[in-house]
Chains A and B, each alone.
Chain A
Amino acid sequence: MNRNPPLVFTWALLLWSGLTGAWLPGIALAVWFEWALRTRTRWHMTDKSLERLVDLSSLLLLALILFEYSQGPLSAGIFAVLRWSPLLLAPLLSAQILSARPGVSYRALFLSQRRSRSPDADRWLDLQPVYLGACVLAAGVGTAVQHPLAYLGGVLVLTLWVCAWQPRPSPRRQWPLWLTLLVLVGALAWVGQQGLSQAQRRVENLAINWLSDFLWSERDPYRARTALGDIGELKLSDRVLYRVTTETPLRHALLLRTAAYDRYVSTSWFAHPQDFQPVPRVEGGWQWSPRPTAAAAEDSTSADQGADQDADQAANQWVQIGSYLPRRGQLLPLPTGTWRLSDLPVDSLERQSLGAVKIKNGPPLIHYQALYRNAASSDRPPEEADLRVPKSEQPVLQALVSELGLSQPGITVAADTSNAPESPSTSGILSTRDTVKRVRDYFASQFRYSLKLPGAPAGQTAIEYFLTTTQRGHCEFFATATVLLLRQAGVPARYAVGYSVQEPVAGAHRYRVRRSHAHAWTLYWDQGQWHDFDTTPALWAELEAEERSFWQPLVDLGSRLWYQFNLSRLEPGQGTPIWLWGLLAVLFALLAYRLRLGQRWRAAHARRSRESVAAPDSPLAPIARQLTRAGWPRRCGETDRQWLTRLAHSRGLEPELPPVDRLLQLNEQARYRPGGLDVTARHQLQVHIDHWLTAWKQAKSTQQPTKR
């Protein structure tokens, strides 16, 4: 800016105070800067003191970032710095104003420039516009006032004030044109910010749709694109996504479901309708189903689990799942039959009728507990779509049903729970359990797991090719074929995707779930509940594990340590972590060193090595000592002439440094002329030195009261 308009810092600081709620520091700073700009009092501040002030501000900034980082994501630390930048920069701006400097030198601002001999290092950075900009930016991240016009209006008024004070030739001061332009600017800015806000929403929606089509298909609660019919090799990354702790050791793989689908169209699965409903909070958790009774749990115990578990325990099994949460939220992986979630500090939780659970606006790391039973009764009961088989798949599936002798239970599909089928079978017809058992045996005896994607020949669907020819494939083949086969046999079935928990880690009942553990399986309806049914050969996880690189354990270790670190810093109720106190202690130790101890240590060191300031035989040694003691030391590699000339032109020292031209001339003659100085010249030099020292002491003594 050409010049600072009056009261500009006051306006900017009041805007900052109003929008952040920091009235006390804002008003105090405004009063302070107005006084500093108007007073004639000036402080003597050496380069060294300024460097220490910069160091102090940097340490405060670092401490603030660390503190905010301990409470949340890194972006919070950055915005906190921005929010409090008027406070952080206030000491530096005060130093600039009160020491009558045009700015702060690059040498003081940047550590890398401290010892530089380049003239660029002595350039000034005027902090006044920087401070003004910091106030305006800091006001923008304040949250005290949410009115949409507050910030824009405040900045517009400030702009009007600054523009009005810009120097321009008096005939050019065309007030009507000037005001018209400003009104137009305000209108344009208002329309622009509205448009920007809406454009972001639109772009985000477009991006989400696009990404969900191409990249995150498995996360889409409404659609799952499979790799059926593709050619190549399926390979997913081994990044650890979830860390699971179970109540008891797992005897079988635990399936964590993220979504279920009911309609199969051309190698893709779809869910319908798209009906996410908010889940209420109950007793500090999220609960969408009543607590199951022991009897219900007993009934619902899955036959294929084959476990003789205690009924009450089956009703209240729990699993803890930890994962990073994307800012936009995600689908939660949960065991089938989950009825309550706890320790999940998110703003909203919604559940779809097919079982997908979506969360929004939570902390960056979540570690929640899911209570579940072995089968799901809260998912929507079967409908006509849960028995539908595409016409193209029907011939081969019908032949298979006949070959396996699967019964046709003749189930009645109802739209609500009250009409759901209750009893499995009549005499002469296979029960659902027997049907499921035969299907399991069929896939277990004749099919192999493979990550190769064989494609499908023309005229055959991928499932037909899988069932009749290759009999090899990955989980999507098995799950899809099983769902369609069960449907063909009259058993309502759905396609489920999620993750398989099977890789134990050190510690009690702890498991890690990788991206490559993504899995697909079948849900079937029996006795009024949905049950998991996985026909993929159990060998698949081992095949996946064989593909891992040899350095994967190291990656896992790093991932685990980072997770533990984040858990300690982000988990609510943990208090301030020890590592933060440690870091703060180190920072303050560094600060103490810079401010006091370092100064004393350096003073002692300077006393010890005073000889190095100037050679003991140098005639200028007494002058060098005085200057060094006053905080104007010689820079690395400077000659006597360069040093004294620099100080003579130094802004803070100019009035008090006696002239040195003749002194330097005699000094150079004494040092470099063959034979040195004669007696008269030597005496003359000594007189000049004495005169310089006397003048210096007088100047110091007269300035002393002013500095105080």
Chain B
Amino acid sequence: MSGSLLRAALYPALRRLERWQHYRRHGLTPLGRFVLGLGFAAAVFGIDTRLNQLYQLFTLALALLLLAGLAALFDAWRWRGQVIASRELPQTASVGTAVDYRVRLHSRSRRPVRGWWIEERLPDPTPTRVQFCDPRQGADPADGRFDRLMGYPRWRRLINRNRGAGITESRPVDTLVEQHDTPVRLRLAPQQRGYLRLPGLWLSRPDPLGLVRARVMIPCEQSLLVLPKRYPAPRLTLPGRRQYQPGGMSRAGAVGDSQEFIGLREYRPGDSPRLIHWPSWARSGTPQVKEYQDEFFTRHALVLDTFATTAIDAQFEAAVSVAASLCDRIGDADTLLDLLFVGAEPYCFTTGRGLGDAGQCLEVLACAQPTLHGEVVQLQQALVARMGQLSALVLVLLDFNAPRRQLVRTLLRHGLPLRLLVISTQTASALNDGWTGPPAQPLHPERMAEDLARL
């Protein structure tokens, strides 16, 4: 309780500190940071004006920064709203892969606009109060007691997580002339999957003294869907027989009847009026109905364990990457693949045989969130309800503890082949200690590419 109170009390100070650091990084030039540091040192060593003359350096640094700041403010005010911009973004991006795109700038000012630099404005990464006060968010077992109590390392991790993309570089802008579009190429390096909101762009240039940057915001809100990171993985050929699919292909992914038509027969009481074939009735004079054949085909499930302990869980991100890497590597072209996980409710997305493709599956995975307050039993119930249609399962688990072992035992009772992949730093023997079922294969979060290649 005292820890949460302390964190709640610290939150405003940390927020101010983050704002100040952001300003120092982006609002000041390197020379401005040098003057600021010098002024701070002069204030410390020259606190007594009788001892030395460093207080004069302090006042000089203060005056420099003050006037440079005023000049930059005036410059930014003068150019506000004079430039508009539009981006040409790709449809999707991937975590860890830089995206190059073009920005078109258009000046409204009659005067030529010179000497500016442009950079992407990223969303404010400062953690919310709820994020910071919840000790599970961004927690790391390696944190010491003091760090856990004060929460500063967690604060840094939350900021890195919220940042969404790496810090962007500024690019120089050629002279902007009225009524002409000027293209600029920018680069973005997404770091987190999901939708990356881009609220606008910054135009900046140093003040006449070269200490403070005048910054003009160009509103230009767009979003970019960032897909999970993928690794090369071999195709998984799973055993398992074909299963009866009630409703056939149409029911496999959504609603509707099977489309495997085999012939017509006479109407029998109880047949659905929707099955009546009206042209045949007209020709023969007796009611005729359409008859369909039951469909059997292979249907696999890729099950993603979302029951993470914290909202920022490297293991969960690794599991999503594994699922993304495998979503088009399971079965063959005639196989259906169900991507199954528990979000706010059990969720299933089916791909294969024209129902959906891997791209859509990746989009679903890009938005998957960990379930912090759920139980593994929910996943078990969702799976058991579908066991009759499935041929085999690939389970991507975050741990191999007792509840998850119970889940696997339950699934084994249905006689389906299972492939167990566990995100873990343990060795295979340690992971399977005391386990008699099909062996669980560990995937080390930091050696994901190698471990996936070995599947």
Q: What residues make up the interface of A, taking CB atoms closer than 8 Å to B?
A: 1-2, 78-79, 82, 129, 132-133, 136-137, 140-141, 143, 148, 151-152, 155-156, 159, 162-163, 166-169, 171-172, 174, 177-178, 181-182, 184-186, 188-189, 192-193, 196-197, 200
Closest to B68 in A: A181
Q: A136-B38, A159-B64, A172-B208 are in contact. List 13 more A-B contacts (CB 8 A).
A: A79-B51, A140-B46, A141-B54, A143-B52, A152-B60, A155-B60, A163-B209, A168-B205, A169-B115, A171-B115, A181-B208, A188-B67, A192-B59
Write out the residue numbers on chain A whose beta carbons fall within 8 Å of the beta carbon of B45.
78-79, 82, 137, 140-141
Write out the residue numbers on chain A whose beta carbons fall within 8 Å of the beta carbon of B42.
137, 140
Write out the residue numbers on chain B whose beta carbons fall within 8 Å of the beta carbon of A1.
30-31, 34
Given the known A-B contacts A188-B66, A188-B67, are A166 and B115 also in contact in the complex, defined by CB atoms under 8 Å?
no
Does residue B84 face the partner (Cβ distance < 8 Å to A)?
no
- What are 13 sample pairs from A and B whose C-beta atoms fall under 8 A apart? A82-B45, A140-B46, A140-B57, A141-B45, A143-B52, A152-B60, A166-B31, A168-B206, A184-B63, A188-B63, A188-B66, A189-B59, A196-B49
A163 to B34, CA, bound (A): 12
Q: Are B41 and A137 in contact (CB under 8 A)?
A: yes
CB distance from A107 to the nearest CB of B (A): 22
Q: Are A197 and B67 in contact (CB under 8 A)?
A: no
Count, chain B residues at interface, CB 8 A: 38
Write out the residue numbers on chain A whose beta carbons fall within 8 Å of the beta carbon of B210.
2, 163, 166-168
Interfacial residues of chain B within 6-55, with CB under 8 A of chain A in the complex: 29-31, 34, 37-38, 41-42, 45-46, 48-55
Q: Are A197 and B209 in contact (CB under 8 A)?
A: no
CB distance from A136 to the nearest CB of B (A): 6
Q: Are A129 and B34 in contact (CB under 8 A)?
A: yes
Write out the residue numbers on chain B whose beta carbons fall within 8 Å of the beta carbon of A162.
31
CB distance from B37 to the nearest CB of A (A): 7
CB distance from B64 to the nearest CB of A (A): 5
A197 to B38, CA, bound (A): 19
A171 to B205, CA, bound (A): 12
> Which listed residue, A167, A178, A196, touches B59 by the CB 8 Å rule?
A196
Does residue B307 face the partner (Cβ distance < 8 Å to A)?
no
A133 to B34, CA, bound (A): 8
A593 to B265, CA, bound (A): 104
Q: Are A155 and B57 in contact (CB under 8 A)?
A: yes
A3 to B37, CA, bound (A): 17
Q: Are A196 and B58 in contact (CB under 8 A)?
A: yes
Write out the residue numbers on chain B whose beta carbons fall within 8 Å of the beta carbon of A178.
208-209
CB distance from B405 to the nearest CB of A (A): 34
> Which listed residue, B48, B64, B115, B208, touches A177 by the CB 8 Å rule?
B208
A171 to B57, CA, bound (A): 31
Write out the residue numbers on chain A whose beta carbons fall within 8 Å of the beta carbon of B208.
168, 172, 174, 177-178, 181
A159 to B34, CA, bound (A): 12
Closest to A169 in B: B115
Does residue B348 face the partner (Cβ distance < 8 Å to A)?
no
A132 to B34, CA, bound (A): 10
Q: Counting chain A CB atoms within 10 Å of each CB, which of B38, B52, B208, B211 scores highest?
A: B208
Closest to A149 in B: B56
Does residue B251 face the partner (Cβ distance < 8 Å to A)?
no
Write out the residue numbers on chain B whose beta carbons fall within 8 Å of the beta carbon of A182.
209
Q: What residues make up the interface of B, taking CB atoms closer than 8 Å to A?
A: 29-31, 34, 37-38, 41-42, 45-46, 48-60, 62-64, 66-68, 71, 114-115, 205-206, 208-211
Given the known A-B contacts A140-B54, A166-B31, A189-B59, are A172 and B205 also in contact in the complex, defined by CB atoms under 8 Å?
yes
> Which listed residue, B49, B57, B66, touches A137 by the CB 8 Å rule?
B57
User: Lowest 10 A-B CB distances belong to which pairs?
Assistant: A192-B59, A166-B210, A169-B115, A188-B63, A140-B54, A189-B60, A141-B52, A151-B53, A193-B56, A193-B59
Inter-chain contact total with CB atoms closer than 8 Å: 122
Q: Are A151 and B56 in contact (CB under 8 A)?
A: yes
Q: Are A140 and B66 in contact (CB under 8 A)?
A: no
A505 to B38, CA, bound (A): 51
Write out the residue numbers on chain A whose beta carbons fall within 8 Å of the beta carbon of B206.
166, 168
A178 to B31, CA, bound (A): 16
Write out the residue numbers on chain A whose beta carbons fall within 8 Å of the beta carbon of B55.
193, 196-197
A168 to B212, CA, bound (A): 12
Closest to A201 in B: B49
Write out the residue numbers on chain B whose beta carbons fall within 8 Å of the beta carbon of A185.
60, 63-64, 67, 209
Closest to B63 in A: A188
Closest to A171 in B: B114
Given the known A-B contacts A1-B31, A177-B208, A181-B71, are A168 and B56 also in contact in the complex, defined by CB atoms under 8 Å?
no
Given the known A-B contacts A140-B42, A163-B209, A192-B62, are A2 and B29 also in contact in the complex, defined by CB atoms under 8 Å?
yes
Q: Are A200 and B49 in contact (CB under 8 A)?
A: yes
A185 to B45, CA, bound (A): 22
Q: Counting chain A CB atoms within 10 Å of each CB, which of B37, B56, B210 scores highest?
A: B56
Q: Are B57 and A136 in contact (CB under 8 A)?
A: yes
CB distance from B70 to the nearest CB of A (A): 9
Write out the residue numbers on chain B whose beta carbons fall within 8 Å of the beta carbon of A193.
55-56, 59-60
Given the known A-B contacts A133-B41, A141-B45, A200-B49, are A189 and B54 also in contact in the complex, defined by CB atoms under 8 Å?
no
Write out the residue numbers on chain B whose beta carbons fall within 8 Å of the beta carbon of A151.
53, 56-57
> Which listed residue, B30, B52, B58, touches A2 by the CB 8 Å rule?
B30
CB distance from B111 to the nearest CB of A (A): 11
Closest to A188 in B: B63
CB distance from A160 to the nearest CB of B (A): 10
Write out the residue numbers on chain A whose beta carbons fall within 8 Å of the beta carbon of B56.
140, 151-152, 155, 189, 193
A271 to B112, CA, bound (A): 77
Closest to A75 in B: B51
Write out the residue numbers on chain A whose beta carbons fall within 8 Å of the beta carbon of B41.
133, 137
CB distance from B227 to the nearest CB of A (A): 27
A141 to B44, CA, bound (A): 13
CB distance from A188 to the nearest CB of B (A): 4
CB distance from A139 to the nearest CB of B (A): 8
Write out the residue numbers on chain B whose beta carbons fall within 8 Å of the beta carbon of A78.
45
Write out the residue numbers on chain A whose beta carbons fall within 8 Å of the beta carbon of B211.
163
Write out the residue numbers on chain B whose beta carbons fall within 8 Å of the beta carbon of A177.
208
A575 to B145, CA, bound (A): 50
Closest to A143 in B: B52
A163 to B60, CA, bound (A): 14
A222 to B63, CA, bound (A): 42
Q: Are A133 and B38 in contact (CB under 8 A)?
A: yes
A196 to B60, CA, bound (A): 12
A557 to B205, CA, bound (A): 64
Write out the residue numbers on chain A whose beta carbons fall within 8 Å of the beta carbon of B64.
159, 185, 189
Closest to A147 in B: B53
A82 to B29, CA, bound (A): 26
A132 to B37, CA, bound (A): 12
CB distance from B56 to the nearest CB of A (A): 4
A148 to B42, CA, bound (A): 16
Given the known A-B contacts A163-B210, A192-B63, are A172 and B54 also in contact in the complex, defined by CB atoms under 8 Å?
no
Given the known A-B contacts A152-B56, A188-B63, A192-B59, are A197 and B49 also in contact in the complex, defined by CB atoms under 8 Å?
yes
CB distance from A490 to the nearest CB of B (A): 50
Q: Are B52 and A140 in contact (CB under 8 A)?
A: yes
Write out the residue numbers on chain A whose beta carbons fall within 8 Å of the beta carbon of B59.
188-189, 192-193, 196
Q: Are B67 and A156 in contact (CB under 8 A)?
A: no
Write out the residue numbers on chain A whose beta carbons fall within 8 Å of the beta carbon of B46.
140
Closest to A151 in B: B53
Closest to B208 in A: A178
Q: Are A159 and B54 in contact (CB under 8 A)?
A: no
Write out the residue numbers on chain A whose beta carbons fall within 8 Å of the beta carbon of B31.
1-2, 162-163, 166
Write out the residue numbers on chain B whose beta carbons fall within 8 Å of the beta carbon of A167.
210
Closest to A134 in B: B41
Write out the residue numbers on chain A whose beta carbons fall within 8 Å of the beta carbon of B52.
79, 140-141, 143
> Which listed residue, A137, A174, A196, touches B38 by the CB 8 Å rule?
A137
Q: Are B115 and A140 in contact (CB under 8 A)?
A: no
A151 to B64, CA, bound (A): 16
A154 to B50, CA, bound (A): 19
Write out the residue numbers on chain B whose beta carbons fall within 8 Å of the beta carbon of A137.
38, 41-42, 45, 54, 57
Write out the residue numbers on chain B whose beta carbons fall within 8 Å of the beta carbon of A156.
60
